[in-house]
Amino acid sequence: MKHQKNINGLAHTCFNQKEEPQPILRHNVSPKQLAVIGLGSVGKAVKHTFDFFYESVAGYDSDGRGNWNDIIRSIVVFICVSTPESETGHLDCSNVDDVLCKLNEFAYSGICVIKSTVRVGFTDSAVKKYPNLRIVYMPEFLREKSNFTWFVNPDRLVLSGNDVDMDEIIGLFWWVDGIGESVPILKMKYIEAEIGKLAHNARIAVLVSFTNEIEAVCIENDACSDSVMSVIHADRRVQSTEHLKPKLGGYGGKCVPKDTRELIASMRKPILLTAAEERNRITLDGDQ
């Protein structure tokens, strides 16, 4: 049974504050068949959003959900499987590789859009390993607690791959207001998109660690960290105070720590990011 809510309100009202999907009316849907592999937090956000705009969106997960034949019949498959941190500090991309290997075995002819965050250089190696697959790397910039709303309302689209394939993928996001203008479309090489995604999260790590370092100075000198950081917040060049608020502790979650360490593992002398990690360790240990 299809639900009811006006399409114009989707981007702003179809999810409540707890990020639970709300009833919506599906109309003006496209007959294109899409697919999502990996139904974790990112995959669920991708599938739920596309379910609104497209007639057929297949889902598949290693836990047994979904039908593989539906994946093979799709014209685009979004790969949203996990890439945990390995013992070396690099991201373990074996789940992504397993999916690509299986798609290659079934001679999949659609576009393979990798949404999973991958290690530096992975996509170039995957293109060489699977030359018959049409691979696009399109990292996702979702807030862990706001996956649905941030996917519906992206602030940028980052893509790498064949120009024709990238343009086809961009066309799937036709509902996004200001696409190509206020929501920039950033096309680049695979490795640039990979590092860009990792740098996005590493920047969060640096900002949080900077704030915790200033808070430590304030504690040691009997100063109010809120007052001190308000000086930073008032700078006209600071567009957002997010991650610059004291008394919130260190960074954590599923993405920021492992993505920061992937960059550290990919550099010869990662001075700043190593310092951010050390400050975060001290903060989380409660040593100030």
Among 59, 9, 75, 42, CA closest to 151: 42
Same domain, 76 and 144: yes
Q: What is the pLDDT of residues 255-284, one digit of tens each?
A: 999 999 999 999 999 999 999 999 899 989
pLDDT of residue 191 exceeding 90, the answer is yes
The verdict on residue 1 lying in a domain is: no
Structure confidence at residue 17 (pLDDT): 38
Same domain, 183 and 76: yes
Asked if 111 contacts 77 with a C-beta cutoff of 8 angstroms, the reply is yes
CA distances from 117 to 92, 137, 191 (A): 10, 9, 12
Tokens of 78: 């979004």
What CATH number does the domain containing 105 carry?
Answer: 3.40.50.720
Cα(275)–Cα(107) distance, rounded to whole angstroms?
46
Q: Among 26-35, 190-199, 271-280, which is the least confidently predicted range?
A: 26-35
- Containing domain of residue 15, as a range? 7-188
Same domain, 82 and 147: yes
Same domain, 165 and 227: no
Asked if 214 contacts 247 with a C-beta cutoff of 8 angstroms, the reply is no
Q: What is the pLDDT of residues 43-60, one digit of tens each?
A: 999 999 999 999 899 999
Number of domains in the chain: 2
pLDDT of residue 207 exceeding 50, the answer is yes
Same domain, 155 and 26: yes
User: Quick one: CA dihedral 35, 39, 43, 44, positive or negative?
Assistant: positive
CA dihedral angle for residue 17, residue 208, residue 236, residue 151, rounded to 10 degrees: -40
Among 215, 164, 161, CA closest to 188: 161
pLDDT of residue 186 exceeding 60, the answer is yes
- Average pLDDT on 252-257 reads 89
Same domain, 42 and 109: yes
Q: What is the pTM for the complete model shown?
A: 0.85
- Average pLDDT on 183-197 reads 98
Q: What is the pLDDT of residues 126-167, one digit of tens each?
A: 999 999 999 999 999 987 778 889 999 999 999 999 999 999
**Amino acid identity for residue 100 in this structure:** L
Q: Read off the pLDDT band of 173 (50, 70, 90).
A: very high
Cα(219)–Cα(288) distance, rounded to whole angstroms?
8
Q: What is the mean pLDDT of the chain?
A: 88
Asked if 215 contacts 246 with a C-beta cutoff of 8 angstroms, the reply is yes
